[in-house]
Chains A and B, each alone.
Chain A
Amino acid sequence: MEQLLVPMMCKIDKVIQETPDIRTYRLKFKEEGLMEKFDYKPGQFVELSLLGAGECTFCISSSVTRKGYFDCSIKRAGNVTSDIHNSLEEGDEVGIRGPFGNWFPLEELKGKNLLIVGGGIGLAPLRSLIQYCIDNRNDYKDFTILYGSRTSADLCYKEETKEWQDNKSLNVILTIDKAEETWTSNVGVVPKILEEVVKPVIENTKVITCGPPIMIKYTIQSLKKLGFADKDIITTLEMKMQCGLGKCGRCNIGSTYVCKDGPVFTNEQLKNLPDEF
């Protein structure tokens, strides 16, 4: 067991300040050949450790189709994440274990319309899927991205969302909670925009959503109101994890291990879990 808990060292290639409290760390394995072998799917997560401070769970926010690196987007929230923000610069080293967990049902999504609904830092795991789908664009039909945050400054991946907006094969809708002087796009919380602006097609559509717990809750309510079936609503859960190996018991929800059976669940599966997430 102890060997499975030993991380591999990665070098920080680049630090991107996304918002005042979110940074994206672009990582590369130090050991030669490891980066090429590091195979992961959108939705999976890694255990990132700052030696001496501790280990934290982060989803991978880039796609394996972009070679040579992988990204972790980290929001300053707790002890370890504050340490990461305070002490890590380009060229520093972190430990990585992973990838762990299940992934978005890529095969099932093929030939379907995709509706991606994200809020705040919740876009991070979705970005991995978006990049993956853009790189395999022909496999999917209509592709809509709805992304919202509290203020325009809190929107993640600003340059990349601009690229997505310029991409003719994508329909990208951005929103912020409260009106701002310079903001010309939508204003309103995500579920409201979803119902009033996006008005998605229900037939042959899969919805993938991630965001703060409260946003997910109301988004799912709106989706149900619009007529989506539980099995077509896919979300990824945030849960405290430690080992990622299905041993430490931290991520148990009922008899489910989020680190093994999740973090990606359909709403159908979530409905059968005890209300503890």
Chain B
Amino acid sequence: MNVEIFVTDKAGLQKFYEAIIAKNETYAPVEKFGKFDFKHVSSLSECDPDSPIEKTMSAKPLFFPRSAKILKYTADSSGTTVKETDEDPLAGKRVILGMKHCDARGLQVLDKVYNWDYIDSDYQKRRQNTVVISTRCDKAGTHCFCTSLDYDVQNLDAMDVLIVKGQDGKIFIKARTEKGEDFLKSNPIDSANSKQHPASEEEMKKQYDAFAASFRLKMNYKEINENLSKIFDTPEFENVSSNCIGCNTCAFICPTCHCFKISDEKIKDSGVRYKCYDSCNNGYFTLMAGGHNPRPAKYRRWRQRAMHKFVYYKERFGENLCVGCGRCTISCPVNISIFEVVNQVAKSEK
């Protein structure tokens, strides 16, 4: 695909962002208590599309909300009436600014599970109606390892528009999908500052190489994937999970975790049913009525989490469920690193 690459500078990008926010329903990272979360914004000053990965929550909740109403019901003498909620999952088109590459990858991974067998139409609708504008990181975060996994960070189909900050203040903007091309046509980049540039691809590659060189964490993904699939019974899982406090944070902030629970709220004769996030690290996750629990011990739950991310999902859907964003490590109250865990376990013998 021979796509135009627009070259602009900081001021041009600023104007581009401002125009987008003025014209579209825009979501971008907004800071609160030192943490950025994706929220609806009405001006550029409210948000920071270049928020650091360490402090930014994933954009997953915009596609798979932290909780969604399933139904409302009322009961009276004539029986129970169930109403689907009037909440429209996504009415119009929207734009997400400043989405990280790892989050975009997360969407591609989630597409698989939401589009097999029963199709999650709400998720699909949100995906179709959203234009993702993704800015490439300048530097790897302390816990990032996206370049070591089974995907090409430079080419992700979930990114509609890619923004790369090159050298000398040059900024490259490129549409990656048809949706992105259409979007750039209706939201043009300030023409005084933009032009076609054949050498741009080269410079973008250069930026990527510098970015890729800044990674502290590197792993041999293939080897880890192969080794893990062979060592289900290794006692090493007990060692690596002994200091986990089972707080579930890792799953709640993960860009790919998709387990949920159904939670009811009842007020007298009416109520609401929600679909909410859940985590396999939760001891109640597989506890059945009657007391049988297939994963009663913490290490079994940890094993499920690690294996689901690095083995099972790959077996089932052909993709790795971990995108290497390091958010779980950053948020872990006891600083457990999934990178460290899988590396340590993969080395162990059965």
**Which of B10-18, B109-117, B240-248 forms part of the interface with chain A?**
B109-117
- Does A252 lie within 8 Å of B308, measured CB to CB? yes
Residues on the B chain within 8 Å of A75, using CB: 290
Task: Determine whether B22 belongs to the interface, using a CB cutoff of 8 Å to chain A.
Answer: no
A77 to B287: give the CA distance in the assembly, Å: 12
Residues on the A chain within 8 Å of B118, using CB: 4, 245-247
Residues on the B chain within 8 Å of A245, using CB: 117-118
Nearest-neighbour CB distance to chain B for A275, whole angstroms, equals 8
A228 to B168: give the CA distance in the assembly, Å: 75
A3 to B124: give the CA distance in the assembly, Å: 13
- Does B300 lie within 8 Å of A56, measured CB to CB? no
Task: Determine whether B344 belongs to the interface, using a CB cutoff of 8 Å to chain A.
Answer: no
- Does A242 lie within 8 Å of B116, measured CB to CB? no
A81 to B300: give the CA distance in the assembly, Å: 27
Task: Determine whether B85 belongs to the interface, using a CB cutoff of 8 Å to chain A.
Answer: yes
Interface residues on B, range: 35 or more
Nearest-neighbour CB distance to chain B for A2, whole angstroms, equals 5
Residues on the B chain within 8 Å of A260, using CB: 117
- Does A2 lie within 8 Å of B68, measured CB to CB? yes
Candidates B68, B75, B116; contact of A51 at CB < 8 Å: B75
A window 234-277: CB within 8 A of B:
238-240, 242-243, 245-250, 252-255, 260, 274, 276-277
Given contacts A245-B118, A247-B120, contact A51 B273 (CB under 8 A): yes
Nearest-neighbour CB distance to chain B for A44, whole angstroms, equals 15
Closest to B68 in A: A2
* Interface of B, helix, strand, loop or mixed by DSSP: mixed
The total of chain A residues at the interface (CB under 8 A) is 45
- Does A276 lie within 8 Å of B70, measured CB to CB? no
Task: Determine whether A9 belongs to the interface, using a CB cutoff of 8 Å to chain B.
Answer: yes
A6 to B69: give the CA distance in the assembly, Å: 10
Given contacts A77-B289, A249-B258, contact A2 B117 (CB under 8 A): no
- Does A1 lie within 8 Å of B295, measured CB to CB? no
Residues on the A chain within 8 Å of B262, using CB: 5, 54-55, 242-243
- Does B82 lie within 8 Å of A9, measured CB to CB? yes
Task: Determine whether B343 belongs to the interface, using a CB cutoff of 8 Å to chain A.
Answer: no
- Does A5 lie within 8 Å of B275, measured CB to CB? yes
Candidates B79, B260, B313; contact of A242 at CB < 8 Å: B260
- Does A255 lie within 8 Å of B287, measured CB to CB? no
- Does B275 lie within 8 Å of A1, measured CB to CB? yes
Per-position contact with B for A41-84: 1 when CB-CB < 8 Å, else 0? 00000000101111110000000000000000001011111000
Task: Determine whether A213 belongs to the interface, using a CB cutoff of 8 Å to chain B.
Answer: yes
Task: Determine whether B32 belongs to the interface, using a CB cutoff of 8 Å to chain A.
Answer: no
Residues on the B chain within 8 Å of A79, using CB: 289
- Does B123 lie within 8 Å of A1, measured CB to CB? yes
Task: Determine whether A95 belongs to the interface, using a CB cutoff of 8 Å to chain B.
Answer: yes
- Does B84 lie within 8 Å of A239, measured CB to CB? no
Residues on the A chain within 8 Å of B287, using CB: 240
A263 to B264: give the CA distance in the assembly, Å: 26
A window 23-56: CB within 8 A of B:
30, 49, 51-56
A window 117-134: CB within 8 A of B:
none
Candidates A52, A238, A242, A247; contact of B264 at CB < 8 Å: A52
* 16 pairs, A vs B, C-beta closer than 8 Å: A3-B84, A49-B273, A51-B73, A51-B273, A56-B289, A238-B288, A247-B114, A247-B120, A248-B278, A249-B308, A250-B286, A252-B308, A252-B312, A254-B307, A254-B315, A276-B295
- Can you list the 4 inter-chain pairs with the closest CB atoms, starting with the nearest? A78-B289, A52-B266, A249-B259, A77-B290
Q: A6-B82, A51-B273 are in contact. List 14 more A-B contacts (CB 8 A).
A: A1-B122, A5-B70, A5-B71, A5-B275, A6-B71, A51-B271, A93-B75, A213-B292, A243-B262, A246-B113, A247-B258, A248-B278, A249-B259, A252-B308
Residues of B within 8 A of A (CB): 68-71, 73, 75, 79-80, 82, 84-85, 89, 113-114, 116-118, 120-123, 232, 258-266, 271, 273, 275, 278, 280, 285-292, 294-295, 300, 304, 307-308, 311-313, 315-316
